Amino acid sequence: MIEVNNLTTVSADEEFLKKVVEKVLESENKNKDLSIALVGQGRIRELNKKYRGKNRVTDVLAFGDKDGLGEIVICLREVKKNAKRFDSNFETELAKVLIHGILHLLGQDHEKNEIAAKKMEEKQNYYLGLCQKLILSLV
């Protein structure tokens, strides 16, 4: 089951988010229940400080447990900023941070070392490529 809770005034296509999740989990042969929370800058800063000790806004956080359940928290305002910063579009950046969060829930960790970071980046780019049709249908 995939649940999406948009706690912001910024609109995001819930079906798009669910399809991205399904594509990644299917390719990884994983079946996880997942909750996606779309939050504002204040809330994600609080979570980042509480759980990672970093008092700053970030674009995505991922929380998992041993039962195969997970939650991905995304700050839509940061996603919009990323789109401008990287000369991209909102949908591509939204898919990118969602995929990034899913990969963390599946055990990938880019902060571990350079090899792990490269492996995670390659997987992220691979899944972003798989999602291009979905992204283009929204742009």
Q: Which residues are annotated as a binding site for Zn(2+)?
A: 100, 104, 110
Under 8 Å CB-to-CB from 75, ≥6 apart: which residues?
38, 39, 40, 41, 43, 44, 57, 58, 59, 60
Give CA separation, 87 vs 41, 79, 116, in Å: 21, 12, 26
Going by the annotation, the residues of the binding site are 100, 104, 110
Alpha helical stretches, state H, the chain: 14-27, 41-52, 76-85, 90-105, 114-130, 132-138
Bridge partner residues of 72 (DSSP): 36, 62
Residue 11 phi, psi (nearest 5): -85, 145
Pairing state of beta strands 2-6 and 33-39?
parallel
